[in-house]
Amino acid sequence: MTYKKHMNINKGAAGLFILFSLLFFILLIRFIYLQATGTADGQMLAAEAEKRYKQQRVIEAKRGTIFDRNGEIIAEDTPSYTVVAVLDKTLTTDPKKPRHVVDPEMTAKKLAPLLKMKVSEVERILKKDAKQVEFGPKGRNISQQLKMKIEALHLPGIGFIRDTKRFYPNGTFASHVIGYAQKSDKEDGQTVGAMGIEKSLNDYLKEKDGYVTFKGDPQGLKLPNTKESIVRPDNGNDVYLTIDQKIQTFLEDAMNQVEKQYKPEKIIAIVADPKTGEILAMGSRPSFDPNKRNIQYYMNDAISYPYEPGSTMKIFTLAAAINEGVYNGNELYKSGAYKIGPNMIRDHNKVGWGTISFNEGVQRSSNVAFSILVREKLGEDRFLQYLHRFHFHQPTGIDLPGETIGNIVYRYPIEKVTTAFGQGTSVTPIQQIQAATAIANGGKMMKPYIVDRIVDPDTGKVVKQNKPKVVGQPITKETAAKVLDILETVVTSEKGTGRPYKIEGYRVAGKTGTAQIPSPNGGYLTGYNNYIFSFLGMAPKENPRLLMYVAVKRPKISYTETGAAPVSMIFNSVMKNSLQYLNIQPSLEMKRKLKSNKGIALSEYVGLTVEEATKRLQEKGLTPVFVGKGQRIEAQIPLAGEEVIARERIILKTDGQATMPDVTGWSLRDIMKLAQLLQLQPSMKGYGYAVTQNIPPGAKVNPRDYLIVELANPQQMDKRIAEIARQKEENKKQKDENKPLD
């Protein structure tokens, strides 16, 4: 029995021995095979091991930064974060230190206000059947400051994924110039320029991430005694623009004010250095904030919007006539209308100003004057050559995407003449800026550019450098100086359309423009504000350092305003602030004028005779105005001891009955002085200078009488006065016709 039991044990042991021996030989054969071939199931074991143990970590590169001319940041990459919530309960190993969202209701109440979301919306996300969730657009691209606020709540399960975003610290700032960049939808998630400089220089700005590889365990920890392999990141190149952040800010602020007050369809403005062609500021409305990308309109109108410019084109017609020696400013011509075949060219006030000189015609912006210059003096073919000399037939080549050109319409006689005063032919604002550099720069025309240089941030090496480039000399230095002299009178003359563009302390030369807008149904739009109002000006006139073009399309101006109101609001503010910021001092002549304008102390004239008061006031360069027919002064405004400026009106009341003076052309300030002296009750209509008055000149006036005065902007004064004169003539004619016969 015992023997049989031992036999069974021996048989079992033998069977196990044979089984394990068989398995050993199978494994041995498998091992020899693997060693010999290096493959298993068709897979290379070395490659598979490398794949399993090789770890790679990304070293993030940075997209190039965009700077202004002074190194101020305009666009840069900044850290951003995405808020995430861990909902997987299994990740919590210590209940005292939970790693998942424990209380969705409480978490939602605290988190929602910071993300500017509804509590119910956040709570719904936190109750999803998922291991980890995000909070949509409002939980992405959050700032470091907001991240710190959320972390301070110590909410279990709330974490962050680090990323970068493109940040524009100035918000709405040359937005159509700079454009914007955003993360690509592709797997690499690279930032890509989508508009403006960000797009056109994307190949320079774009970055390429680096990485480090090493052997590690499944948890990502580096194995001992292993080497690292590093591919360095390639940061994008930095771009330095010619834009000046201060001047651009002046421009943005001024455009914001006009947009708010006048609600125009468009605003376009450019500030340039005429000596170099550098663009110091460029902006338009409507605009957008590139951080929000609330884009209404994608075109950069300063370079891509051709339109009929109106009378700013007269600058170049004038320059051509002077350069050819056919302009005589003192020569007289008959204004009002000029016939070309079946067509009639008319001045903007429809009736003209009688027989005047060509210099006055420039000041008044007479279409007839410029029609005569092209048709009778310069010649149409020669004028076309000058249009080409000023490069109105080709793009400027500015380093911005999307530039277009206008169209020189020059087939029929009427088109050749209307081109002289900016109608029919279309140009872009940047074409006008380029052409005007020749006027401000001694005849040399400079190519406009906005990218100063591109720099490798890692080495400091300049990859690309732009420099000032002369692209032509359409006129001589002497011609440019003469044009500037005449354009200054457009601003300074009492007859000039540019009077609203005077800047205290500086001599400004420039030309206004009122461009008609083509109608979709043919012809042009009609209506008081259906124009593009503009001004092309430069200062200081004696050596222009700044050149500026402003255009405002269809502003909502009242009937007592002109298109100069919104345009001058931008030009005057930006030009004066920029000149002062650049420390460009007024000329000695202007300083003397300013000093004399503020240095006249008024004496006491009460008790003097009219003759003696007149003599003393005129000796001081002041203008006496007497109300009354007496011979001795009873009262005066301003009072003795007050400071007045040269040529200021001094209102003097004589003894006896007071009489009403002719206030045509008076400023509101002078009218109020008169009302104060005579104790009248003033009522004003409009703004600017007086064109009508309810009390006739010479009529007797008494205290408490009503004085009703209509005011008009300087550009509209002549037109309004002509209308009043015509209406009086018609009333007189009608009265005579209705007069009964003897």
Mean pLDDT of the chain: 86
The answer to whether 429 touches 551, Cβ cutoff 8 Å, is yes
Biggest CA–CA distance in the chain, Å, is 175
Count the neighbouring beta carbons within 10 Å of the beta carbon of residue 330. 8
Rounded to an integer, the average pLDDT of 253-269 is 95
CB 646 within 8 A of CB 671: no
Q: What is the pLDDT of residue 21?
A: 73
CA gap 722, 350 in Å, rounded: 10
What per-residue confidence (pLDDT) applies to 716? 65
Most confident of 28-42, 95-109, 409-423: 409-423
Q: Is the pLDDT of residue 321 over 90?
A: yes
The pLDDT of residue 263 is above 80 = yes
The answer, yes or no, to whether residue 712 has pLDDT greater than 90, is: no
User: pTM here?
Assistant: 0.72
- As given in the structure block, the two tokens for residue 262 are 């006048």
Res. 742: pLDDT tops 50: no
Residue 16, pLDDT > 50, answer: yes
pLDDT category of residue 231 using cuts at 50, 70 and 90: low
**Residue among 586, 588, 626, 620 nearest 603 (CA):** 620
How far is the C-alpha of 88 from the C-alpha of 132, rounded, in Å? Answer: 7
Confidence label for 45 from pLDDT (cuts 50, 70 and 90) = very low
Arch. (CATH architecture) of 77-167? 2-Layer Sandwich (3.30)
For 402, list phi and psi in degrees, rounded to 5: 90, 15
Is there a contact between 205 and 239 (Cβ–Cβ < 8 Å)?
A: yes
Q: For 587-595, what is the mean pLDDT?
A: 57
Cα gap 23→11, rounded to integer Å: 19
- Classified as helix, coil or strand, 251 is helix
Give the residue range(s) of CATH 3.30.10.20 domains in the chain.
Answer: 600-734
Q: In sequence order, what DSSP letters do the residues of 146-158 get, joined into one string?
A: HHHHHHTT--TTE
* Mean pLDDT within 566-591: 86
Q: Is 710 helix (H, G, I), strand (E, B) or coil?
A: strand
Classify domain 245-589 by CATH architecture. Answer: 3-Layer(aba) Sandwich (3.40)
Q: Is the pLDDT of residue 560 over 60?
A: yes
Average confidence (pLDDT) over 94-119: 92
Q: What is the mean pLDDT of residues 453-476?
A: 96
676 has pLDDT over 80:
yes
State residue 477's pLDDT score. Answer: 96
Whether residue 106 is predicted with pLDDT greater than 50 in this model: the reply is: yes
Using a 10 angstrom Cβ sphere, with 0-12 exposed, 13-18 middle and 19 or more buried, the burial of residue 724 is middle
Given the structure tokens 């955003």, which residue do they identify? Answer: 182
Quick: pLDDT tens for 593-621.
555 555 578 888 998 998 898 888 888 87
Question: Quick check: 459 and 552 in contact, CB under 8 A?
Answer: no
User: What are 205-217's pLDDT values in tens digits?
Assistant: 998 766 666 565 5
End-to-end CA distance of the chain: 175
The SS3 call for residue 205 is helix
Does the structure show a pLDDT above 60 at 552? yes
Q: Structure tokens of 704? A: 């408490």
Distance CA 279, CA 270 (A): 7
Least confident stretch, 66-80, 397-411, 636-650, 677-691: 677-691
Provide mean pLDDT across the span 56-61: 66
CATH class of the region 600-734: alpha beta
Q: Which two tokens stand for residue 167?
A: 């940040």
More confident residue, 8 or 562: 562
* Distance separating alpha carbons of residues 613 and 615, to the nearest angstrom: 5
Per-residue pLDDT tens digits for 325-371 = 999 999 999 999 999 989 999 999 899 999 999 999 999 999 999 99
Pick the more confident residue, 611 or 34.
611
Top-confidence range, 152-161, 165-174, 430-439, 684-693: 430-439
Contact 568, 257 (CB under 8 A): no
How many other β-carbons are positioned within 10 Å of the β-carbon of residue 394?
10
Within the chain, all domains assigned CATH 3.40.710.10 are found at 245-589
Residue 741 has pLDDT above 50, yes or no: no
Helices (H), 357-467: 358-363, 367-372, 380-389, 413-420, 429-440
- Residues of the chain within CATH 3.30.70.2110 domain(s) are 77-167
Confidence at residue 222, expressed as pLDDT on a 0 to 100 scale? 52
For residue 17, is pLDDT > 50? yes
Q: Map tokens 């302390």 to a residue.
A: 505
Q: How far apart are CA 391 and CA 24, in angstroms?
A: 92
Across 540-551, average pLDDT: 96
Taking 80 as the threshold, does the pLDDT of residue 184 lie above it? no
pLDDT confidence tier of residue 78, bands split at 50, 70 and 90: confident
Query: In whole angstroms, what is the distance from residue 310 CA to residue 367 CA?
Result: 10
pLDDT-derived band at 740 (thresholds 50, 70, 90) equals: very low
Least confident of 93-107, 198-212, 303-317, 423-437: 198-212
- Which active-site residues does the annotation give? 311
From the number of C-beta atoms within 10 Å of its C-beta (0-12, 13-18, 19+), residue 461 rates as: exposed
